[in-house]
Amino acid sequence: MAETEGQEKTEQATGKRLNDSREKGKVAKSSEINSFAIFVSGLLMVYLTQHFISRKITELTIGTFDSLDVLNLTKDTFIYFAKEIMFTFLLIISPILGALFIVALVAGIAQVGFKISLKALMPDFNKFNPLNGIKKVFFSVRSLIEVSKALIKLAIIGGFTYSIVSDFILKSEMLVQLTIPEIVSFMVSAAYTLLWKIAIIYVLIAAVDFIYQKVKFKKEMMMTKQEVKEENKQTEGDPQIKSRIKRMQFQAAKNRMMQHVPKADVVITNPTHYAVALKYDMSKNSAPKVVAKGVDELAQRIKKIAVENNIPLHEDRELARALYRICDIGDEIPSTLFKAVAQVLAYIYQLKNKKKRKLIV
């Protein structure tokens, strides 16, 4: 971690860093989007249920005032009216609260997707430290930004609301001439008008905050070059160790290949740069098989082992290059090279037979 101090964060966040942040519940999320969604859905619910709300409030109001002349104010009477008011209130707001809960959930999922983060639910005892809380509230740049945003939002919405409400206040002078149902209807209509006009302002605030949160989160997730290297080491392994393992694997494969050279029938050479050792076992293979191949230094080692084990060397530049390019270790030669290789093997077998006859004589 010390190596990353002082380094500039110039690299985009990796997938692993974003996933780790998501597991901890840290995502680019705007609370203003949720607030706007709740606000608009509440507005819609008020609009859809305005007649229901007006009727219930009217019934409660008329029922209460009609009984004032014969009302005997006792404890039981007070409890009765309190229950009636509470029941009416719950009946009015229940559908609205249910809709708001669903909308808040959907708004959150729409921004960041559905993800249950257990790490975010784990208690963080550092948050209970009063000193840390004071630092975050009074000495944190983020807190100052959030407070500034809240004040600006309050000023914009407050000023806009005042301009609308002041107009309603002037119109309210005529309420004394209206019936109770008309008064209630006016109040609901005024509230609805106020809300949808505020919603227009709120959508602009939410859009600006959403963009701001995205940009801020992207900047916070930026990484230094050293952090990217360290993460690659953790996920893919140290490049130096991987390179060393590959070298060891290549050396082991090369050593195994060299063990097959003494068993070859012929080594076809370039003659300087290429060497390909072939083995043909008619009882096991349908065509000659490449048991070793190499270029430059490795080709010289193959030829040296072949000479030490009396394996014939046959110079054919085009055939050597073609075999090296087309065939891997353990592959049978392709049909396009059958004729050329067959001629070489036939010649080698003739030489072997001549040597055997000389030895017998």
d(CA 116, CA 123): 15
Lookup: tokens for 281: 């076992």
Lookup: tokens for 208: 């600006």
Give the pLDDT confidence score for residue 109 in this predicted structure.
74
pLDDT in tens, 118-128: 555 555 555 55
Give the pLDDT confidence score for residue 99 in this predicted structure.
81
DSSP secondary structure string for all residues of 185-250: HHHHHHHHHHHHHHHHHHHHHHHHHHHHHHHHHHHHT-B-HHHHHHHHHHHH--HHHHHHHHHHHH
Overall residue count recorded for the chain in this entry: 361
Residue 361 pLDDT more than 70?
Answer: no
pLDDT in tens, 29-65: 777 777 778 777 877 787 777 778 778 778 777 777 7
Of 92-96, 165-169, 295-299, which range is least confident? 165-169
Query: CATH 3.40.1690.10: does it fit domain 242-360?
Result: yes
Residues of the chain with CATH 3.40.1690.10: 242-360
d(CA 280, CA 258): 17
For 32, 63, 88, 159, 175, the CA distances from 179, given in Å and listed in that order, are: 40, 14, 21, 32, 8
Question: What is the pTM assigned to this prediction?
Answer: 0.38
pLDDT in tens, 183-217: 777 777 777 777 777 778 878 888 888 888 888 88
Of 64-73, 91-100, 274-283, which range is least confident? 64-73
d(CA 256, CA 252): 6
CB count in 10 Å sphere of residue 205:
18
